[in-house]
Amino acid sequence: MRYRTLGDLKVSAVGLGAMPLSIEGRPDEERALATVRAALDAGVTLFDTADSYHLPGAEPGHNERLLARALAGADVLVATKGGRGRPADGSWTVDGDPRHLKRAAEGSLRRLGVEAIGLYQLHKPDPAVPFEESVGALRELLDEGKIRVAGVSNAAAEQIRTARAILGDRLVSVQNRYSPEVRDSEPELRLCAELGLAFLPWSPLGGISRSSLDGPSGLAAAGHFATFHEIAAERGVSPQQVGLAWLLAKSPTVIPIPGASRPETIRDSAEAAELVLSGAELARLERLG
């Protein structure tokens, strides 16, 4: 495993996004626990979760409880989030009210069974609440010692600068969607590189589908993502590994958090930390736009 820095912590260059272990389509508990243990065995030391990773309408915190059980005693960083909810209709609501965030963090603390949350992230800016106020709740949680370091998610460049101004170097990470398919957070990725903030791409495998592995017709269906599959075939690795290695090459501050609901997939993804693409390979992938 290779490592990258997040604040003054060293974490595996590839983390586990634990969301698929708790939402719709989730595996049974035995497989979920086996997936987390496979990540640990593969050297993964960063685990991303949220209080809202649970079935619609259910109690918050299924994913946090699962990680707490599977990781008991392990020397890893659990990064959780607050500020979203999952009512019975299956939607994802947003609540950036400082009172809610502080209550949510208390719940996460209890479920994770820790004295202080390793990394606490504002899940999404709430358009109904001034961003400064939501980030102010993170500052209070930091001052109270309830969270060690803070991050923001789904944040625009201006919001990252605002959070930095409020939190100083206690802001250590930004988690935005970024993948071969969805690259609109390029400015935020660049800003994080400039400021030395970890950039955690969520849904990092977007565009590299499983079905497109199925032979030449599948490759054609993969459209311009076919280059990821071609390089994978040349290297004898999975296209998902090529996608993750491409992300890692974007900047030394990028730390992808691929999801998994099976031990095999996180084992494969973790190996991407060791895969270094050549300049020529990266140029072929960049030409895709």
Ligand X SMILES: NC(=O)c1ccc[n+]([C@@H]2O[C@H](COP(=O)([O-])OP(=O)(O)OC[C@H]3O[C@@H](n4cnc5c(N)ncnc54)[C@H](OP(=O)(O)O)[C@@H]3O)[C@@H](O)[C@H]2O)c1
| Residue 60 interacts with ligand X (CB under 6 A): yes or no | no
CA angle 92, 112, 136 (to 5 degrees): 60
Q: Are 19 and 52 in contact (CB under 8 A)?
A: no
Quick one: which of 4, 19, 7 has its CA closest to 266? Answer: 19
Give the interface segment with ligand X, choosing from 6-14, 137-145, 246-254, 261-269 (CB under 6 A): 261-269
Output the six-digit token pair for 209. 């589908």
Structure tokens at 208: 């590299």
Between 30 and 115, name the residue whose CB sits nearer to ligand X. 30
CB under 6 A: which stretch of 106-114, 182-190, 215-223, 265-273 binds ligand X? 265-273
DSSP codes joined into one string, 187-203:
HHHHHHHHHT-EE--BS
For ligand X, the binding residue among 12, 22, 154, 253 (CB under 6 A) is 154
SS3 state of residue 6 = strand
Q: Does 265 bind ligand X (CB under 6 A)?
A: yes
134 binds ligand X per the rule CB under 6 A: no
Q: Does 159 bind ligand X (CB under 6 A)?
A: no
Q: How far is the CB of 177 from ligand X (least distance, A)?
A: 7
The correct pick among 230, 262, 274, 282 for binding ligand X (CB under 6 A) is: 262
Q: Is 20 in the site for ligand X (CB under 6 A)?
A: yes
Place of tokens 């090459």: 249
The 3-state DSSP class for residue 74 equals coil
From the candidates 3, 53, 120, 178, which is the catalytic residue? 53
Residue 196: other Cβ atoms inside 10 A: 12
* CA distance to 101, 135, 231, per residue, from 140 (Å): 10, 9, 47
Which of residues 11, 19, 77, 254 is near ligand X by CB under 6 A?
19
Chain positions 71 to 110 lying near ligand X, rule: CB under 6 A, are none
The smaller minimum CB distance to ligand X, of residues 35 and 162, is found at 35
Site residues for ligand X, window 181-240 (CB under 6 A)? 202-206, 210, 238, 240
Residue 22 near ligand X by CB under 6 A:
no
Interface region with ligand X, contact rule CB under 6 A, candidates 1-9, 15-23, 101-109, 221-229 = 15-23
Q: Number of residues interacting with ligand X: please give it, by CB under 6 A.
A: 25
Q: What residue type is 210 in one-letter code? A: R
- CA 264 → CA 17, 217, 244, 259, 277, distances in Å? 14, 25, 16, 12, 22
- 3 part of the active site: no
DSSP 27: P
Residues 6+ apart with CB under 8 A from 53: 18, 19, 21, 22, 23, 62, 63, 64
User: Out of 42, 48, 189, 247, which residue is the one contacting ligand X (CB under 6 A)?
Assistant: 48
- Residue 17 is a binding residue for ligand X (CB under 6 A): yes
Residues annotated catalytic, as ranges: 53
Which residues contact ligand X (rule: CB under 6 A)? 17-20, 48, 153-154, 175, 202-206, 210, 238, 240, 257-262, 265, 268-269
